[in-house]
């Protein structure tokens, strides 16, 4: 078995030696690796695709074989609109970058401006009208919001019904719905209390609820 492997290696080396020996300097001068002449970016709006594309002008003097992938990834990751992406080499001379945009989950106000919070944990400045996502108040960490969002998604409470979220230094949250109900949540047993608030809101016994206070153990305060 070892002898057969040795014989194969000898044949491979012989073939390479023969191939290199048949290529003259004249042929090498004629041989050119095609440069990239087309870069295509998809997934974002036309404007954002174009702005991102402008960062890749340096690639037009490169070729696909010697592409600096880390440099490309660094540029893409610096764009806060990007959730994830794929890079495709289209030989001989085209490059395609497919962007999967982040999903806007909430927004904050800072110095009179609006900043969207994406599912990629990044903030994006916007002048556009904010769609139906909650406004977050208070000095929270992204991890605080992510934990709350994940817990809500595990219950029957509809996240899209939340108009405002209030984070307190103690580490707890209040939620205000579009129908005007303020839900005061405890720091502990959060998932259980969120589910309970949904049961109360969907119960026909209650109408026009202004407040659901669930901060105390074994106690529910409801104001109509």
Query: Distance between CA 103 and CA 86 in Å, rounded?
Result: 17
What gap in Å lies between CA 183 and CA 180, rounded to an integer?
10
pLDDT in tens, 121-148: 999 999 999 989 999 999 999 999 999 9
Asked whether the predicted pLDDT for residue 118 surpasses 50, the reply is yes
Q: Say yes or no: 122 and 60 in one domain.
A: no
pLDDT band at 205 (very low <50, low <70, confident <90, very high): confident
Question: DSSP strand E in 138-181: where?
Answer: 162-167, 173-177
Q: Are residues 115 and 211 in the same domain?
A: yes
Domain-terminating residue out of 61, 80, 101? 101
Q: State the CATH number of the domain containing residue 96.
A: 3.10.20
**Residue 15: pLDDT over 50:** no
Distance set, CA 181 to CA 6, 32, 204, 214 (Å)? 79, 69, 15, 13
Domain annotation covers residue 23: no
Asked if residue 2 is part of any domain, the answer here is: no
Of 84, 101, 118, the last residue of a domain is: 101
Instruction: Tell me which of 10-14, 82-86, 112-116, 178-182 is least confident.
Output: 10-14
- The whole-number pLDDT of residue 224 equals 76
> Do the domain assignments include residue 215?
yes
Residues 156 and 208 in one domain: yes
At which of 77, 101, 125 does a domain end? 101
Instruction: Give the pLDDT confidence score for residue 164 in this predicted structure.
Output: 98
Alpha-carbon dihedral angle through residues 43, 125, 121, 173, given to the nearest 10 degrees: -130
Q: Which domain holds residue 77?
A: 32-101
State the number of CA atoms in the 13 A half-sphere of 164 facing the CB. 13
Nearest-angstrom CA–CA distance, 125 and 204 = 41
Say whether pLDDT at 196 is over 80: yes
Does 22 fall in a domain?
no
Residue keyed to tokens 């509809």: 158
For residue 157, which phi and psi values (nearest 5 degrees)?
-70, 135
Looking at residue 32, its pLDDT comes to 65
Which pLDDT does position 97 carry in this prediction?
Answer: 97
Residue 14 included in any domain: no
DSSP label at 181? -
Write out the two tokens for 209.
Answer: 């609820």
Q: Which CATH number goes with the domain that contains 184? A: 3.40.50.11690
Co-location of 122 and 82 in the same domain: no
Is the residue at 7 inside a domain?
Answer: no
Query: Are residues 148 and 203 located together in one domain of the fold?
Result: yes
Share of the chain above pLDDT 70, in %: 86
In a shared domain, residues 56 and 120: no
Same domain, 121 and 216: yes
3-7, 40-44, 123-127: range with lowest mean pLDDT: 3-7
- Average pLDDT, integer, range 205-213: 90
The per-residue pLDDT for 12 is 43
Same domain assignment for residues 78 and 37: yes
Pair (184, 73) in one structural domain? no
The reply to whether 194 and 132 lie within a common domain is yes
Same domain, 90 and 125: no
Highest mean pLDDT among 24-38, 51-65, 118-132: 118-132
Cα gap 76→101, rounded to integer Å: 11
Q: In terms of Cα–Cα distance, which of 77, 40, 55, 52 is closest to 85?
A: 77
What is the helix (H) or strand (E) element at residue 85, kind and residue range? strand 82-90
Q: Specify if 148 maps to a domain.
A: yes
What is residue 107's three-state secondary structure? strand
Residue 82 lies in a domain: yes
Domains: count for the chain: 2
For helices 142-153 and 190-201, angle between their N-to-C axes, nearest 10 degrees: 50
**67 burial level (CB within 10 Å; 0-12, 13-18, 19+):** middle
Considering the domain architecture, whether residues 96 and 117 belong to the same structural domain is answered as no
């Amino acid at each position: 078995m070892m002898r057969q492997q040795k014989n194969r290696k000898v044949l491979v080396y012989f073939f390479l030696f023969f191939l290199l020996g048949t290529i003259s300097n004249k042929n090498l001068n004629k041989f050119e690796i095609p440069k990239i002449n087309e870069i295509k970016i998809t997934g974002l709006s036309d404007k954002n695709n174009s702005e991102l594309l402008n960062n890749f002008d340096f690639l037009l003097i490169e070729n696909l074989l010697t592409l600096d992938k880390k440099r490309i990834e660094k540029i893409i990751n610096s764009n806060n609109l990007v959730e994830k992406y794929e890079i495709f080499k289209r030989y001989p001379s085209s490059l395609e970058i497919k962007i999967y945009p982040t999903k806007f989950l909430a927004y904050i106000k800072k110095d009179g401006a609006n900043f969207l919070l994406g599912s990629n944990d990044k903030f994006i400045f916007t002048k556009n009208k904010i769609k139906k996502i909650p406004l977050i108040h208070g000095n929270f960490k992204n991890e605080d919001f992510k934990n709350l969002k994940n817990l809500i998604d595990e219950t029957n409470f509809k996240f899209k019904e939340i108009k405002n979220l209030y984070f307190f230094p103690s580490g707890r949250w209040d939620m205000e719905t579009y129908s005007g109900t303020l839900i005061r949540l405890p720091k502990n047993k959060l998932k259980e209390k969120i589910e309970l608030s949904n049961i109360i809101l969907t119960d026909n016994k209650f109408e026009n609820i202004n407040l659901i206070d669930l901060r105390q153990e074994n106690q529910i305060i409801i104001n109509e």
